[in-house]
Structure 1
Amino acid sequence: MSQNRNQLDSTTQATITIAWVIMLNKPFYPVYVWYLVGNGVVASLGTLLSAPLFLAIPFLARRSPLTARIALPLIGTLDTLFETKLFGSASGTELYFAACIMLVALSFQAHEKWWQRGMAVLVFAVFVFSRNFIGVPLYVWSAPELATLFNLNAFAVASLLAFIALRHAGVART
């Protein structure tokens, strides 16, 4: 039986809001790269590949709120891994793992602690893999370009973390 948005628990509603914000911001990332870096715009278009996955989360929530709450940090983790392979560790894309961990910390009910623990281990394991085995980036940037990308990603991650915290403020996790 499907549920409408008003019948969803507040944690799932927060997940949906965050998924929408991420998905709606995805198209702007190549614009930021173009404006701030001036190079690698075509490569940055690869970041749009995950947009449909984030878009699926609100629709998934209607069928299974838990699956949607698992999907958001999972998709974010895989997206972060891909973008780290695309841009390289020095670009700061690995900072998005922090947002994934924060989502894991806030997106589960008390009785879902084993899902939460499993997701925390998974995100951390992917981070460790990324740090140690990701290899050469698919796109090579100059040192000044990497510094600009790092600043862009650090600001974006801090903004996302602040939004996640604000959206989850006062959300009851029973």
Structure 2
Amino acid sequence: MPFDIARTRAAYPALTEGFAHFDGAGGTQTPQSVIDAVGAAMRTALGNRTPAFAPGRRALELVDAARAAVADLLGATPRGVVLGPSATALTYTLARTLGDTWRPGDEVVVSRLDHDANVRPWVQAARAAGATVRWAEFDPATGELPAGQYAELVGERTRLVAVTAGSNAIGTVPDVA
């Protein structure tokens, strides 16, 4: 069955304005089904996630259902799905948490292929801890991220290696394994 572009476009109300949206940094175009689901959730009593009272249980159920849906889409387990406002915000939270355990002389490896959301939080956390940042370079001719360079970049003092599973800029899918 061919891809139905008209049906897909019709699912996104913002596209009726006539603009082309290539990358929505800090947000994306929202399909009507999501708008409807958010509206339905906001018309009910919700509270902090807790089993102690009905609005809290409802919030737990919504989050659990969302995690299960994302896990199903990705072939993952729901407990491995983290939801938040953006990849950047989630990475900053994780970087601050892990960075609190780093010390001068520790090392963090980041890639020049990665989106800034998977670079800047780690670089800033390393700087705050006095850790060293080491850079993996990509090949501009091929767009590839040569895996062999990691043998030299990763050492005993390496505390984190941040690398993309797929570049949002040029489409490279590094050999992460």
TM-score range, shorter chain: under 0.3
TM-score normalized by the length of structure 2: 0.28
* Larger gyration radius, structure 1 or structure 2: 2
Structure with larger RCO (C-alpha < 8 A, sep 6+): 1
TM-score, structure 1 as length reference = 0.28
Q: Which has the higher strand share?
A: 2
